[in-house]
């Protein structure tokens, strides 16, 4: 069982509700990456992007209410590092110039009576110089 799966199960057991499987995105340091979240509502809904910190604490990155309005960023977030945009179908989280510290579980969702509902989750793996990939045939 992968780290991301275990983390997702842990979140669900802590009264979180998950609606999707975790995907993994691998990227090189210095590149930009855009994570996607399906727009799950036909009416305006506050969608929040989070990152799991220290494998236990969700940290808010940004929230967006309507596709035609700018996103707001949560306290302590380096605004020049992230860009959040939206259209009718998708909410995008762009992470600029990633480094190894950006690796981790990112997820988007909304709140129902103060409990977050996870719509989509992505494990971001920033590959270091010494990472080795093995292909078994």
First to last CA, the chain: 21
Q: How confident is the model at residue 98 (pLDDT cuts 50, 70, 90)?
A: very high
Contact indicator for 93, 108 with CB cutoff of 8 Å:
yes
Q: Distance between CA 27 and CA 6 in Å, rounded? A: 22
Q: For residue 116, is pLDDT > 80?
A: no
Pairing of strands 115-126, 22-27: parallel
Nearest Cα residue to 17 out of 117, 106, 120? 117
Predicted local distance difference test score (pLDDT) of residue 43: 67
Q: Where does the pLDDT of residue 87 fall: very low under 50, low under 70, confident under 90, or very high at 90 and above?
A: confident
- The per-residue pLDDT for 132 is 59
Q: Which domains does the chain have, with CATH numbers?
A: 3-126 (2.60.40.10)
Q: State if pTM tops 0.85.
A: no
Q: How far is CA 30 from the centre of its chain?
A: 18
């Amino acid at each position: 069982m992968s780290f991301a799966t275990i983390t997702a199960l842990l979140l669900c057991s802590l009264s979180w509700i998950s609606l999707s499987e975790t995907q993994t995105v691998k990227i090189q340091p210095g590149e930009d990456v855009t994570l996607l979240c399906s727009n799950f509502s036909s009416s305006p809904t506050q969608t929040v992007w989070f990152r799991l910190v220290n494998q236990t604490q969700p940290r808010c990155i940004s929230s967006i209410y309507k596709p035609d309005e700018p996103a707001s960023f949560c306290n302590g977030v380096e605004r020049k590092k992230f860009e959040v945009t939206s259209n009718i179908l998708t909410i995008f989280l762009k992470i600029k110039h990633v480094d190894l510290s950006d690796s981790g579980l990112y997820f988007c969702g909304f709140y129902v009576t103060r409990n977050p509902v996870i719509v989509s989750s992505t494990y971001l793996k920033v590959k270091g110089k010494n990472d080795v990939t093995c292909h078994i045939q």
